[in-house]
């Protein structure tokens, strides 16, 4: 496999998990165990397996010390040069765009942004080769089948009747032979009414495919010059995915903006006031024809790209990812790590889909089916635990039955208690983020 020394990995592992608070209130989202291994590890493992060795891991103050400790002592990546950073308390309310702006000077090459809640066995080589061959400014990984929603999945916790969440992504992709796979528009379904495509798109690219077939995997390969645009953006812009990337995609139609192109392709230094008002750009800057072209592409994952991609930003997606990894560990771990972690090791009373930390205590005549049991949890005798999540330090008394439920950190369930579709935890202050 080729070594991609011209690419730097940027892992965004600072989310507080606002869409999965029943769990992320108990364990910080980047540290949630997937098959007993913390979630942030999977992004690093994917980059390592694809020979991307220079990595900037951006997390939050709640996680940074534990992540550093785990990387130094338990989950070693001797091949990688990993810099772990946090913006500190000031960044608690920041979105992904502000985080990247803050650490832009630590990104030294073209880079691949990798969401820290993605669990996968991805082979990135075809995507990176495609990005090189097309001299792409921005390449977005799309897939038609990923684990990223609660629909049709077993979801532990309270079942609330509500509007079905919208998880699809609308994309417009060119189908002309000369511009095939150019990504021209992308927005989540929930934002489509407010962010409809502009008519200029269809003038320049008359043959396109508007589809909701593909999911955005939140993995992007970007030219380093885009950081100049990021640093010049209005500080009110919050999200890399929902705001910045749609803006860059729009630059592909209409007349090229010399100033934006200069920032991307290295012909001018950015200025603080460069993009304060996007609507006034066409009047503010001169537009000329013979400039380098912003070219954005969609790369569609195929069977060769990997077996599984999960976006673990909901309880259901996280739960399904646990089951998948637990049953197919060889896709994610080297043999010595499988042995070390005890993944797949037969535990009396537990089925193959259950993920049970080695520090957990399991009593006699207890059955555990399709469940996640975290560090230092204790499940006493003659219990039935099915389709549930038992958080660190929880204690389950004798003869309990827990079905489709979540038991919080250090919570105690009294003997012979029955929990079904329940969340038992202490209330904590909610922290919001841009997932």
**pLDDT-flagged residues of the chain (< 50):** 268-290, 429-435
Q: Which domain holds residue 154?
A: 7-311
Task: Report the number of secondary-structure helices (H) and strands (E) in the chain.
Answer: 12, 27
Same domain, 129 and 231: yes
Do 280 and 356 fall within a single domain? no
What is the C-alpha to C-alpha distance for residues 278 and 308, in angstroms, rounded to an integer? 38
Cβ–Cβ under 8 Å, residues 209 and 173: yes
Cα–Cα distances in Å, from 170 out to 61, 93, 269? Answer: 34, 27, 34
Question: For residue 266, what pLDDT is reported?
Answer: 80
Q: How long a stretch of residues is the chain?
A: 435
Instruction: Answer with the one of 285, 311, 337 that is the final residue of a domain.
Output: 311
In a domain, 150, yes or no: yes
Question: What integer pLDDT is reported at residue 345 of this predicted model?
Answer: 80
Same domain, 101 and 213: yes
Looking at the 3D structure of the chain, how many domains does it have?
2
Q: Give this prediction's pTM.
A: 0.89
> Does residue 47 belong to any structural domain of this protein?
yes
316 assigned to some structural domain: no
Whether residue 335 lies inside any domain: the answer is no
Query: Residue 139: inside a domain, yes or no?
Result: yes
| 240 and 353 co-located in one domain | no
User: What pLDDT does 38 receive?
Assistant: 96
Q: Quick one: 44 and 164 in the same domain? A: yes
Residues 16, 68, single domain; the answer is yes
- Gap between the Cα atoms of 331 and 141, Å rounded: 20
C-alpha to C-alpha distance for 376 and 28, rounded to whole angstroms: 16
Q: How far is Cα 372 from Cα 121, in angstroms, rounded to an integer?
A: 21
CA-based max dimension of the chain = 76
Look at residue 24 and tell me if it is in a domain: yes
Tell whether 94 and 38 lie within a shared domain: yes
End-to-end CA distance of the chain: 32
Q: Are 195 and 245 in contact (CB under 8 A)?
A: no
Same domain, 168 and 244: yes
CATH code, domain with 393: 2.160.10.10
CATH of the domain at 289: 3.90.550.10
Confidence (pLDDT) at 150: 55
Are 120 and 245 contained in the same domain?
A: yes
């Amino acid at each position: 496999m080729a070594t991609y020394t011209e690419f730097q990995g940027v892992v965004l592992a600072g989310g507080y998990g606002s869409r999965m608070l029943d769990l992320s209130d108990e364990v910080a989202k980047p540290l949630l165990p997937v098959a007993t291994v913390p979630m942030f590890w999977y992004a690093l493992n994917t980059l390592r397996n694809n020979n991307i060795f220079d990595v900037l891991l951006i997390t939050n103050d709640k996680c940074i010390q534990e992540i550093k400790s785990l990387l130094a002592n338990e989950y070693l990546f001797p091949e990688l040069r990993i810099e772990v950073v946090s913006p500190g308390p000031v960044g608690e309310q920041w979105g992904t765009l502000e985080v990247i702006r803050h650490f832009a000077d630590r990104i030294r090459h073209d880079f691949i942004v990798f969401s820290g809640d993605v669990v996968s066995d991805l082979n990135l080589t075809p995507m990176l080769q495609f990005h090189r061959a097309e001299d792409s400014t921005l390449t977005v990984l799309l897939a038609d089948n990923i684990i990223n929603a609660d629909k049709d999945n077993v979801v532990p916790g309270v079942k609330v009747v509500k509007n079905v969440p919208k998880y699809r992504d609308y994309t417009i992709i060119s189908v002309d032979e000369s511009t095939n796979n150019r990504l021209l528009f992308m927005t989540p379904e929930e934002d489509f009414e407010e962010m409809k495509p502009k008519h200029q798109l269809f003038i320049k690219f008359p043959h396109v495919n508007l589809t909701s077939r593909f999911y955005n995997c939140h993995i992007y390969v970007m030219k380093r010059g885009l950081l100049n645009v990021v640093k010049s953006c209005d500080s009110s812009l919050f999200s890399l995915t929902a705001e910045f990337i749609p803006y860059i995609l729009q630059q592909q139609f209409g007349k090229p903006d010399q100033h934006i192109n200069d920032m991307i392709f290295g012909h001018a230094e950015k200025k603080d006031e460069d993009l304060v008002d996007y609507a006034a750009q066409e009047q503010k800057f001169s537009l000329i024809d013979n400039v380098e072209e912003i070219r954005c592409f969609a790369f569609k994952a195929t069977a060769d790209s990997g077996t599984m991609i999960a976006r673990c930003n909901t309880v259901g997606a996280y739960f399904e990812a646990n089951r998948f990894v637990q049953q197919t560990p060889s896709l994610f771990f080297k043999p010595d790590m499988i042995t070390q972690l005890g993944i797949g090791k037969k535990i009396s009373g537990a089925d193959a889909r259950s993920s049970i930390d080695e520090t957990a205590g399991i009593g006699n005549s207890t059955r555990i089916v399709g469940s996640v049991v975290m560090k230092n949890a204790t499940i006493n005798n003659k219990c039935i635990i099915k389709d549930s999540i038992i958080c660190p330090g929880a204690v389950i008394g004798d003869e309990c039955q827990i079905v489709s439920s979540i038991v919080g950190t250090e919570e105690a369930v009294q003997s012979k208690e029955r929990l079904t579709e329940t969340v038992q935890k202490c209330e904590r202050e909610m922290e919001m983020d841009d997932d």
